[in-house]
Amino acid sequence: MSYSRVRIAARLRPAIPGEQHDKAIRVVRNDAGSSICVDNPRDPSQTFKYPFSSCYDEQSTQEEIFERDVQPLVELAFTGITVTVFAYGVTSSGKTHTMQGNKAQPGIIPRAVEDIFMRTASLHYQASIQVSYMEIYKDEVYDLLVDRDTAAKLPVRENEAGQVFVANLSMVPVDTLQDFDSIFARANKQRSVSSTNLNSVSSRSHAILTLHVSVVDPVHNMTLRGKLNLVDLAGSENNKHTGNDAARMAESAAINKSLSVLGQVVHALNSGASRIPYRNSKLTRILQDALGGSSVGLLICNLAPGTKFRQDTLNTLNFAVRTKNIQNKPVVNQQVNAIAGPSRSTIPPPAPSGRPSLLPNMIPGHTRLPAPRPSRVPRPSSIEVIDARSLLPPLEPVKVEPPPLPVHLTEEEINARIAKAVELEVARRLEEERARERQRREEEEAATASASRSASMQEDSHSQDSSLQSLPSGLLTPLLKSSRESHEDELKRRLDELEARFERANKNAVQLADVLSPISRKKTGRAYVALARSHSNKNNLEVALNLYRKAETYVPDNVKLKERIIEIEWAVKNNRPFNPSPKKPRRSGSQSRRERTKSGGRRKHRANSQYDAVEEEGENDASEKENTEARGKRRMKTEQAEMGTPPKKRRLVKAEE
């Protein structure tokens, strides 16, 4: 089964007139890759680092982003795959600029359309392009290709195959770039836009432009239907800054609510929840396919610069980190042609004439996508949704049969097709190998994690052998008979071996952390933290630092872990000893609850243990935020007394409070 993670790109816009310029948020590039660095709002001496494969700074151009991150995905639409690119970020962070741009700096949408037409022209197959464009305004869907004054609210429905669609949405065939430009320009005038203190042309709705690409392959007698969804989300708004009036406030509430549901969907997917709340907003319902569904996804995080936007930026980046873990399972949408031979009529027929038209046609020549009522849903025999791999020729033994020679294919094109098929098959086999490796690894991790937990319990009780009986036999059994020190060495050796084995099997820069499930990542992170803590207790600070950094690759959005790394870096750099927080003895559930209540509650308890923070990583955002705020308040209270003391000491002062 082949999975595709949602790709992430982050783009920092330049300061615009009237904004104060500072470096609170910046793009850093080094040998290890690129990251967005943000100063900790609570403690400027600390920096949060968010590594992403694509980070664009203030000088980046529209062309770079398109060529590096979007153009490779456009190609997929020609192979029957749905691709969704969405721009996410706080209001005024540059989403519309990135997606639409302007005449001088055209954005992703015009570039993608141009690219599609260029590809179409060079194809030897018949291809047709259609466009649909909708906006979600106050949780209602409107067609942007019909006259605004008469536009009705469109219902969101699901067909028998489980595909979500917007009923009665127009689809307009476009044959040239000029066709598209005039349709798009006219449609954009319909979009809900207003002026706020932060943006004179602030989008008040989420806009989804879809380019439907149909390619008819007469040789195989089928039509591939790919889609490119280009989504310009409305920005989250802090109404202290926007200065919104009552009407804008109502829009703002709807925008913030739908983005909050988007956050909940991402969180539920990440935590493996059995119910994903897609239905809680129209936005998530329509984007369902891009989040944990069958399309390939790219999230562009737009970031506004400077201290003023720092908290919003952290929220956006944390959302991105969570989204990065979502796995989609792309499928090829392929329809067997009813009549063999090339055909340009890949567009569904217009609604039956007896059906009352709800909306007038604004654009001449456009066809309305019929509402697929159950009786009109294509039978499974005529529309297939298939796993992309099944399109590959058989490869046992490795031998690729060239596809039948279409009259207009050149020798070079045939060779390219064969090479592509081989490449895909190799990728499939690699994926199978990885799946086997993953399974082996997860079994080993389960044993490793329980061993490290037991090791940590051993430390708590200062009893080295009382818990041996309760540890699992098997993988780690020989270690249990040795001393604790050698046990740790062995645990580290096994973790290293696990990564090395994975890297050997994957020479194409896929990291172990990238392929583990969220639970396995958390477990591995936890094992590294346990080892790191043990080394820091012995004052082997450099080793501990390395291990904490390793842990961070598995749980990158764990704030406590980032803080711990900064503290140890400080101690190493200043050649100072490092005193770990005193570890509390384990208590029974009820006793623990009683004590927590007396001593100021759960938040204080959590703040005391780095290990617990990793364990509890992934709890809901609200409690994370509460913790951060509570810590921030305590930090401010003690700031005066702590001047000149290292970060670790400050924490101890707080703990004593």
Ligand X SMILES: Nc1ncnc2c1ncn2[C@@H]1O[C@H](COP(=O)(O)OP(=O)(O)OP(=O)(O)O)[C@@H](O)[C@H]1O
- Does 90 appear as a known binding residue? yes
Site residue total, ligand X (CB under 6 A): 18
Of 68-76, 95-103, 341-349, 538-546, the window that binds ligand X (rule: CB under 6 A) is 95-103
- Does 93 appear as a known binding residue? yes
Opening angle at CA 639, ends 636 and 643, nearest 5: 160
Q: Shortest distance, CB of residue 53 to ligand X, whole angstroms? A: 19
The answer to whether the beta carbons of residues 455 and 482 sit under 8 Å apart is no
What distance in Å separates the CA atoms of residue 49 and residue 30, rounded to the nearest whole number? 13
Q: Shortest distance, CB of residue 523 to ligand X, whole angstroms? A: 38
- Nearest alpha-carbon partner for 472 in 498, 445, 494, 497: 445
Which uninterrupted H or E stretch holds 171? strand 170-174
Opening angle at CA 536, ends 534 and 540, nearest 5: 110
In the bound state with ligand X, the residue whose beta carbon lies nearer, of 198 and 371, is 198
Is 252 a binding residue for ligand X by CB under 6 A? The answer is no
- Give the burial class of 374: count Cβ atoms within 10 A of its Cβ; 0-12 exposed, 13-18 middle, 19 or more buried: exposed
Q: Shortest distance, CB of residue 312 to ligand X, whole angstroms? A: 11
Which distant-in-sequence residues (6+ apart) come within 8 Å of 337 by Cβ? Answer: 216, 218, 221, 222, 223, 343
Of 88-96, 315-323, 328-336, 472-480, the window that binds ligand X (rule: CB under 6 A) is 88-96
In the bound state with ligand X, the residue whose beta carbon lies nearer, of 203 and 223, is 203
- Nearest alpha-carbon partner for 336 in 259, 236, 257, 225: 225
Of 139-147, 195-203, 489-497, 600-608, the window that binds ligand X (rule: CB under 6 A) is 195-203
The answer to whether the beta carbons of residues 120 and 242 sit under 8 Å apart is no
In the bound state with ligand X, the residue whose beta carbon lies nearer, of 238 and 367, is 238
- Does 589 appear as a known binding residue? no
Q: Shortest distance, CB of residue 255 to ligand X, whole angstroms? A: 8
Beta strands in 284-352 (DSSP E): 296-303, 327-328, 331-336
- Does 193 appear as a known binding residue? no
Mark residues 31-70: x for contact with ligand X by CB under 6 A, - for none. Answer: ----------------------------------------
- Does 336 appear as a known binding residue? no
Is 199 a binding residue for ligand X by CB under 6 A? The answer is yes
Burial 79-96 (b: 16+ CB within 10 A, else e): bbbbbbbbbbbbbbbbbb
Of 93-101, 148-156, 548-556, 621-629, the window that binds ligand X (rule: CB under 6 A) is 93-101
Is 248 a binding residue for ligand X by CB under 6 A? The answer is no
- Does 89 appear as a known binding residue? yes
In the bound state with ligand X, the residue whose beta carbon lies nearer, of 90 and 512, is 90
Q: Shortest distance, CB of residue 449 to ligand X, whole angstroms? A: 42
Among 202, 316, 323, 610, which residue interacts with ligand X (rule: CB under 6 A)? 202
Among 7, 97, 212, 310, which residue interacts with ligand X (rule: CB under 6 A)? 97
Is 96 a binding residue for ligand X by CB under 6 A? The answer is yes
Among 54, 70, 95, 297, which residue interacts with ligand X (rule: CB under 6 A)? 95
Q: Shortest distance, CB of residue 456 to ligand X, whole angstroms? A: 45
Q: Are strands 126-137 and 206-217 parallel, antiparallel or unpaired?
A: antiparallel
Residues between 1 and 30 with contacts to ligand X, criterion CB under 6 A = 13-14, 16
The answer to whether the beta carbons of residues 321 and 50 sit under 8 Å apart is yes
Is 558 a binding residue for ligand X by CB under 6 A? The answer is no
The neighbour count for residue 57, using CB atoms within 10 Å, is 17
- Does 590 appear as a known binding residue? no
- Does 294 appear as a known binding residue? no
- Nearest alpha-carbon partner for 230 in 77, 56, 10, 60: 77
N residues, the chain: 657
Is 94 a binding residue for ligand X by CB under 6 A? The answer is yes
Is 91 a binding residue for ligand X by CB under 6 A? The answer is yes
Is 242 a binding residue for ligand X by CB under 6 A? The answer is no
Among 190, 302, 325, 337, which residue interacts with ligand X (rule: CB under 6 A)? 302
Among 170, 190, 192, 203, which residue interacts with ligand X (rule: CB under 6 A)? 203
What distance in Å separates the CA atoms of residue 630 and residue 632, rounded to the nearest whole number? 5
Phi, psi of 26 (to 5 degrees): -150, 160
The neighbour count for residue 597, using CB atoms within 10 Å, is 11
Is 89 a binding residue for ligand X by CB under 6 A? The answer is yes
DSSP 477-518: HHHHTS-HHHHHHHHHHHHHHHHHHHHHH--SS--HHHHS-H
Which parts of this chain interact with ligand X (CB under 6 A)?
Answer: 13-14, 16, 89, 91-97, 199, 201-203, 234-235, 302
